[in-house]
Chain A
Amino acid sequence: MRTTQFLLASAALSAIAGCSTISGWFHGAPEAPSAETLAGTLAETAKPALAVTVHDGEFAEIQQFVTPGGVSVWLVSEPSIPIVAVQMAWKAGTASDPAGAEGLSELVTYSMNEGAGDLDSLGFQTAMEDLNMSFSCGAGAEWTSCSVSSLTENAPAAMALVATAFAAPRFDEGPFERFLREEEIGLQTRETNPNYLAWRTIAQSLYPDHPFARETTAESLANLTADMAREHMRTLMTRDRLIVTAVGAVTPEELAPLIDEVAAGLPETSSVAPVAPVDLASVPVARVVVDLPQPQSLVRFIGPGIDRANPDFFPAFVLNYTVGGGGFESRLMKTLRVVKGLTYGISTSLDPNPSMLTWSGGGQTKNESAGEFIAEIKSELIKFVEGGVAEQELADAKAYLTGSYPLGFDSNAKIAGQLMMVRQENLGVDYFDRRNALVTAVTLDDVNRVSKTYLDPARYSFFVVGQPQGME
């Protein structure tokens, strides 16, 4: 927190300015219908009425529908800014890379905006600029996702371009070789990146044989081909697993045909092996130091987490605020930063991903104080186990967590992200409305029970990257 803008990005006034006209919009650009002609065109070719279920929730009015082509969409119509954001996701990610072909899913997502149909990479990128749109994809361990942003007036042309990327991606040799050059550099730079080194050490120590621990290597990159990427794309991105969320100045009737156009080029289904969960509770804890020459030590600690279905989940979520999730209101920040001056920041978080449930945290301190830093973390955790939290701390946590919840819904981008999270985690369309009550229902007995069960430092593995001193 409390950041300093002493190294400003190259943000021009462009990133900050106010409003706009569309004069000169189409110079040199593909013909794109204006908002008015879009409405007119749709009216002429109107299909039978779309069945839309409206959930008029406290934080967002969510419109749910299935397109004529069979794609399930959640949309929040927000007319006040003439932009549209569409997010697409499929449950299949880098864990699906064949053994020895690590990096394949990343190659697929890297290639998605690198040429399609008649357009090579430069042609595709230029078309996106002409439309003032963005389209990019990425792959996580278990999810592949793509996002599109467009001005409302350009949405039909933007989505048509995305449709060609899904129907006729080129996987040209040029971008493929560029991907390999970038990855080759990445193999070098990751070896001195403290966060990467911490991740690798955690993975190798706690779940070395799990797909989540796999890394790209020079060998796996050498095994990749553009043809493999073309084929693997049809494993990752299918119509039956596609979920879509959208926010912006668009109606269900306007959006549905655009989504269908985009999904039309995808295969109906594919076979993706499920990922076995990592159970950290069944693994012995680890203590590992990775040497890296820099003034500070990065400290990470990680222990078993809690499933959302477990009655301990919401108590733990509330408790985490007092432990390390509440910024300056957390005990770790109060002790390690405010009182001791040992760090610029320390935090903890609870990850409810069913494939790997964790409760983890971390921060950085000068090498000279690394031992003291870790000892203080453990001492704070022991205090939770032995004494739990005070009534006032619980009340403060609940007041913040419920009171600040609306702040997560004040932009189209945030709402789109929230909708996607609810869909990916299957929390239900009414989750936003139920969530604050789940926080409020947590009692002091609940959090103190969870403190005892989960916060014993003996349950946590500790990892340090740097040149720490004073370690036990």
Chain B
Amino acid sequence: MKRSLAAGLFALFASHALAEEAAWAPSTFTLGNGMEVVVLPDHRAPVVTHMVWYKVGAADEAPGKSGIAHLFEHVMFKQTKNIGPEEFTSIVQRSGGQLNAFTSWDYTAYFERVAKPQLGKMMELEAERMVNLIINDDPKGPFISERDVVKEERRQRIDNNPGVILQEKVLSELWKGHPYEITVIGRMKEVAALTPQDGLDFYKQYYSPENAILVVAGDVTPEEVRTLAEQHYGVITPTGTVTAERKWQPVTPLAETQLLTHEDPKVRQPGWSRYYTGMSQRRQPADALALDVGLEILGGGMTSRLYQSLVEQQQLAISANAYAWTTLHDEGPAVLSASPAPGVTLDALETGLMAEVEQVLAEGFTEAEVIRARNKLAANAIYARDSQSGMANAFGGWLAIGGTVEEILTYPDTVRTVTPEQAIAAVRSVFSSEKHYIEAHLLPAEGDL
């Protein structure tokens, strides 16, 4: 299946493509304990990116425990039965490795990037913390200081930035009642109350091979990875505590329109945006791709309708965009946003921008616009192959929310099938005038300007 698929994809490519196909075609297999494995060969340099993805994220947190998925991810670097306090990072870096981890609503991922000979050691380390993590429960110990670190992270990423504070409020309204309602890093109060026992409970429930995906990209063959993976991960017994059911659910479309504002003395340039209930590539595969194509035309760059109308012709804005988050498992926001030109009020900006949107909704797109947009999206997929870690992220992130390797491989072909009718239909279904939305105004503090 995979070979014929890849051959079909490259049939129109220049002659070197056939040699290329064998060199980088991804392969997948599953270990006996249920751990999925993806191998992405890339032989340009003798290095590998090794990732373990867990199918658990902030969306799975228990009520009142917001932030545990992310705080727990930090704690995974602390100590295990066979690795002393703070030694995990030391061992990886002494091996010439770079390492990090990240948490989303949908998943948690850990990675090391190393020279190829170190791959086995990295697997040994990740396997160790999959089963032997120790959480120190000293009330003045490392769990507590890590909680303080997360509070600083929250201040640095959110609380320092008025635009992000407003976005957090908006998303919380957009996803009201949905597991995505609370931002991944969690509510400050709930984070402050998390305990070592919360960490241990979370670990026991979710960290198990049948809930994990191994992704290895780089200078390896599937056979090499299989041998090492069976040696290090294949021997782990599943805990049996992971329930197959995630807390995902369809996002309820907004039932009313509202205005949210945030005023801050740090704001020197107002901002205007409207958030609508959008789509996801998992829940609405065809429509979400059509939406991406349509929004590329509506507000994707300098050639887009919004930029040309608002920035170039009417000169009401210095930027104007339309975009949607379609790569979460559940529906994300679809957004119209603009930043006013000097001296332009948000009212005037909004009137001009919505007039352009309504005109597009009424008239639709031209064939040439759609071809240009979908070719751009397809070409981005070629450029994306330049980054080894980017590719590992792409496959891991998509598989962690239930997608398949095939869907990624066929993406360029699929996106090229989007028609002008489909693109405008998708855009209309999100932004039509009867849809509710959250309008967000970012404003200077009273009397500040």
Chain A: residues with CB nearer than 8 A to chain B?
A: 1-8, 10-25, 27-29, 34-36, 59, 78-83, 121-122, 125-126, 129-130, 132, 149, 151-153, 174, 178, 181-182, 184-185, 188-189, 191-192, 194, 249, 292-296, 326-329, 334, 337-344, 364-366, 396, 399-400, 402-407, 409-413
Contact = CB atoms under 8 A, between A and B. Distances in A.
Closest 10 CB pairs of A and B: A403-B96, A341-B148, A16-B394, A6-B184, A17-B411, A132-B379, A10-B323, A341-B145, A20-B412, A17-B381
Interface of B: 6, 9-17, 20, 23-24, 26, 42-47, 58, 70, 73-74, 77, 86, 89-90, 93-98, 100-105, 113-115, 118, 142, 144-149, 151-153, 155-157, 159-160, 164, 167, 183-185, 218, 265-269, 281, 289, 292, 301-303, 308, 311-312, 315, 318, 323-328, 332, 335, 339, 341-342, 367-368, 371-372, 374-388, 390-391, 393-395, 397-398, 408-409, 411-413, 415-416
A12 B418 CA distance: 15
Given A6-B184, A12-B292, A406-B47, A413 B387 contact: yes
Given A21-B11, A23-B416, A28-B372, A4 B184 contact: yes
B342 A192 contact: no
7 contacts: A2-B73, A18-B391, A80-B44, A185-B269, A327-B89, A329-B89, A341-B146
Nearest to A369: B152
A19 B382 contact: yes
Given A4-B102, A4-B185, A80-B24, A13 B289 contact: yes
Given A36-B14, A339-B145, A364-B156, A7 B167 contact: yes
Contacts of A35: 14, 16
Contact of A18 (B97, B289, B409): B409
B372 A130 contact: yes
Given A78-B44, A174-B312, A341-B149, A83 B383 contact: yes
A15 B148 contact: no
Contacts of A27: 368, 371, 375
Contacts of B327: 8, 11-13, 16
B432 to A, nearest CB: 21
Contact of B411 (A18, A78, A365, A404): A18
B311 A178 contact: yes
Contact of A14 (B103, B153, B372, B381): B381
Contact of B325 (A10, A293, A366): A10
B23 A80 contact: yes
A192 B267 CA distance: 7
A82 B185 contact: no
Contact of B375 (A15, A132, A149, A407): A132
A341 B388 contact: no
B383 A149 contact: yes
A174 B371 CA distance: 27
B13 A14 contact: no
Given A19-B412, A293-B266, A296-B155, A125 B397 contact: no
A3 B13 CA distance: 38
A125 B281 CA distance: 29
A23 B13 CA distance: 9
Contacts of B375: 24-25, 27, 29, 132
A191 B372 CA distance: 39
Contacts of A78: 44
Given A296-B156, A396-B93, A191 B24 contact: no
B104 A8 contact: yes
A181 B342 contact: yes
Interface centre among B46, B103, B303, B386 (most CB of A within 10 A): B386
A11 B295 CA distance: 12
B385 A19 contact: yes
Contacts of A22: 12-13
A365 B93 contact: no
